[in-house]
Amino acid sequence: MPRDRSSGSSLLPNTADSSPAVENPQRQLREFHLLYRISRALHSTLNLDELTHQMLSMVVLPRSAGFGRAILFTVNEKTGILQGMLGVSRQSAVEALQAVSEDLLSDLPRLDPHAIEQQRSTPLNRAVVKQRLPLKAQDNPLARAYLSRKVVLVEAPLQQAGTALQLARDLGLAPYACVPLSGRDRTLGVLLLDNPVSGKPITTDYLWFLELFSSQAGAAFENARLVSRLEQTHEELREAQERLFHGEKLAVLGEMAAQVAHELKNPLVSIGGFAQRLERQDLGEPRANEYAAIIAREVRRMEEMLGNILAFSKKQLVCLEECDLIEQLEEALELEAEDLRRKGIRVEQEVVQPIPLITGDCCQLRQVLLNLLINAGQAMPQGGRIMIRMMRCKFGGQEGVATEIEDTGGGIPSELMRNIFNPFFSTNPKGTGLGLSISHRIVAQHHGQLEVVNGEQGARFILRLPVRPKGTANR
């Protein structure tokens, strides 16, 4: 691996004949023996987190490379930023591995979870994980090492500029080496190594050792990353299989529910019709008409429930047209007016004109508004107030209309908020748990957004719809 000096940009020799280790066969033998044991230890684990701590600890331990500190940077591929991942000092490595012997590499100890957590909690590591450097060769030596796949030696950290100078100040860097960790076809990260306490210079001997070490560490690091990605992919596959299995069960239940609902609807129509006739007649019994009214009211509730089940179990077609949301709101209020009056609920409106026409399915959007009104009414059985606001808004970078329906029913507990749009979930014992779920699906089909937040006195549902949904032509 070629080497580069940050000061002067002169290329250091990189041939076997020029390596000082070759001039001293005994030293070469010791270092190869050391690298063999390091390699064996690095390949003894495929846990990426454990490997990272083990790798940095080996570089700083006595009788190994013996650096004062080792710091790992990796690249965030989405942002193109080098970010600090872990920093280990000789002291933290010795403390984590508990009283290392002089001949520590004859039997390299493993780091347990407690030791790993101990290294993470050091002031050095807390400073390292805050570091962010641009992946630009002209900006800093670490990026230069990463992109060129060469060892870069920085002899005067405080004479650097920009982010490299800030890095040197933040971490108190002594002269340091940037060593790329190279996989088979790409760079995986960069090791930064320095000796801030001893001030020991990083000689050519060290660089030769680091080149050999980085090739071993890079191979182990790449294997661990592959295993980590394989485990992650396996977990995602397992979750996808569970969702598919759950979806199949829901599909079967949906079909069964639709068949049952269809079979029940016809006799309910007859029962409801006869109950309404009896309600209008003088039955001669004081409470007979009251009983007939109760039957008729409960039948209407069951018909509504079955209608929701049927609507949820089949895919609804969206018929796009010019739609006046104010008009749909008024129709929804008219349909729900009697029930709101009976519960003693006052409705207030605040419409900021002008409200543009939107492209959507008027019937389905009226159903959404009606469901939100029904939900607000159910939250206030003893009376209260519904505040409706409608205004223009910006949604998804384009013009839209926002409608807020807020009640004074006390709000929704935070632990239930995440499930509020799930099918068959309801905080009302008499509810089907489908109204909000159907509304959420209709809004999604219109490329809109339906969310709920708790206000001062109750829940506030916010409906946002684009004036022109994506994929529709301007009319």
pLDDT at residue 188 greater than cutoff 50: yes
Helix (H) or strand (E) holding 367: helix 362-378
The pLDDT, as a whole number, for residue 325 is 93
Calculate mean pLDDT across residues 413-435.
72
The pLDDT, as a whole number, for residue 58 is 77
Calculate mean pLDDT across residues 71-88.
88
Return left, alpha or beta for 456; rule: phi > 0 is left, psi -120 to 50 is alpha, else beta. alpha
Handedness of CA 154, 155, 158, 161 (dihedral sign): negative
| Best CA proximity match to 221, nearest among 426, 88, 48 | 48
Contact (CB, 8 A) for 312 and 251: no
8 contacts: CB under 8 Å, gap ≥ 6: none
**CA–CA separation, 160 and 140 (whole Å):** 8
- Confidence band for 157, pLDDT divided at 50, 70 and 90: very high
Contact (CB, 8 A) for 384 and 345: yes
- For 353-411, how does the pLDDT look when each residue is reduced to its tens digit (9 = 90+)? 899 999 998 888 998 999 899 889 888 888 999 999 999 998 877 899 999 999 998 88
The pLDDT, as a whole number, for residue 21 is 45
**CA–CA separation, 297 and 272 (whole Å):** 8
Contact (CB, 8 A) for 150 and 177: no
- For 307-347, how does the pLDDT look when each residue is reduced to its tens digit (9 = 90+)? 766 666 666 667 788 999 999 999 989 888 888 988 999 99
The DSSP call for residue 47 is -
pLDDT at residue 468 greater than cutoff 80: yes
Of the listed ranges 29-38, 175-184, 351-360, the least confidently predicted one is 29-38
- For 207-223, how does the pLDDT look when each residue is reduced to its tens digit (9 = 90+)? 777 776 776 676 667 66
pLDDT at residue 6 greater than cutoff 60: no
pLDDT at residue 15 greater than cutoff 60: no
| Best CA proximity match to 326, nearest among 372, 297, 369, 376 | 369
The pLDDT, as a whole number, for residue 211 is 73
435 contacts: CB under 8 Å, gap ≥ 6: 308, 371, 374, 375
Amino acid type, 60 = V
Structural domains of the chain, with CATH = 3-228 (3.30.450.40), 233-313 (1.10.287), 321-466 (3.30.565.10)
Average pLDDT of the residues of the chain: 78
Q: What percent of the chain has pLDDT over 90?
A: 22
The pLDDT, as a whole number, for residue 169 is 93
Cis peptide before 423 (omega within 30 of 0): no
Beta-strand ranges (E) seen in 61-214 are: 69-76, 81-89, 132-134, 151-154, 176-182, 187-194
The pLDDT, as a whole number, for residue 27 is 55
Phi, psi of 113 (to 5 degrees): -55, -35
- For 255-296, how does the pLDDT look when each residue is reduced to its tens digit (9 = 90+)? 676 677 767 777 887 888 888 888 778 777 778 888 888 888
The pLDDT, as a whole number, for residue 295 is 86
**CA–CA separation, 340 and 373 (whole Å):** 9
**CA–CA separation, 231 and 233 (whole Å):** 5
**CA–CA separation, 10 and 128 (whole Å):** 29
**CA–CA separation, 60 and 43 (whole Å):** 18
Record the tokens describing residue 301, joined without a space.
Answer: 């509730």
Calculate mean pLDDT across residues 146-155.
88
pLDDT at residue 253 greater than cutoff 80: no
Return left, alpha or beta for 172; rule: phi > 0 is left, psi -120 to 50 is alpha, else beta. left
pTM of the model: 0.46
